Amino acid sequence: MADGGALCRSETQYGQAGQRLLLANGDTVWVALQGAHVVSWQAAGRERLYLSPKNVWDGHSAIRGGVPVCFPQFNQRGSLPKHGFARNSVWTAGPATVQDAHVQQDFTLASCAPSLALWPQRFEATLRVALTPNELTVTLSVHNTDAKALQFSGALHSYLAVDDIAQARLRGLQGQPEWDALADTHASAAAELQFDGEFDRVYGAAPGLLALQDGVHRLEISQSPGWANSVVWNPGRDKCAAMADLPADGFSHFVCVEAAQVMSPITVAAAGNWQGWQRFRALQEA
């Protein structure tokens, strides 16, 4: 690999087929074909995503951590399985595009008999994973291949690694509408979010950047206007202890900051297209 170059290669890890994108500076991304699920992003010498060591790698159970693609339903807000079926489906990897210090690859999922039995809607979804030095962009596109409009909700349910959740701080949502799903209360977001227990809140998406401070580590987070909401979630100690696919201390090592569509569905006209992205940039240590 030439200096400044990039490459992509097929690999098998955790018993899962996937694709690894690599840059000459050492940054890497690994994407499992199950769910087109980004399970690892290493930038500036550090793993930036949390992946549970207690995952059940059986090819159909949801992967705990990384960047799950929730589609075409967010959580249990509908009649489909929790967070929809995309995260448990096998996606098809397209050819990678490599140019200098940039590599990207598309993964596609199209409607089929099993999906139509759950959701009678024809579609083609594409997840584009793009890697540049210190930066990862994940873009979900939905093409309505049906003769009728489709509606969906969903999220890029990103698990961001932190050394200690008690010390983590998230800034950038100040003043945005906030719904606390645990207390079922509405407020305006504080200037700085801190985490001292279970945390589950839906925000109106901020117009600017979010900043996650984790000790000396900083991560910049942004999302496209196509996503109306940002979701911030951590299960806390007690809920984590009841989750079989997380270790007892797993809650202390991540916070989910999600680009999402929760409160109202996105409508895509017949033969129409929709696109929404989330971007992360690793900053120099404070």
Determine the residue type at 47.
E
Indicate which residue of 83, 143, 157, 253 is catalytic.
157
Nearest Cα to 29, choosing from 12, 15, 17, 47?
47
Residue 24 tokens read as 């000459």
> How far, in Å, CA of 122 to CA of 146, rounded?
5
Strand partners, 131: 103, 136
Instruction: Give the residue among 241, 262, 259 at the shortest CA–CA distance from 250.
Output: 241
- Give catalytic status of residue 258 as yes or no: yes
- Is 217 annotated as catalytic? no
Looking at residue 126, its amino acid is T
In sequence order, the β-bridge partners of residue 177 are 188
Report in angstroms the alpha-carbon separations of 18 from 32, 144, 149, 248, 252.
Answer: 4, 26, 32, 28, 28
Residue 137 phi/psi, 5-degree rounding, is -125, 130
Q: What amino acid is encoded at 13 in this protein? A: Q
Residue 42 to residue 211: CA distance in whole angstroms = 18
Cβ neighbours around 31 below 10 Å, total? 28
What is the C-alpha separation between 249 and 285, in angstroms, rounded? Answer: 25
First to last CA, the chain: 31
How many Å apart are CA 161 and CA 177, to the nearest integer? Answer: 25
Cis peptide upstream of residue 72 (ω within 30 degrees of 0): yes
Nearest partner of 124 among 103, 102, 104, 146, judged by Cα? 146
Catalytic residue among 83, 143, 217, 258: 258
Active-site positions read: 157, 258
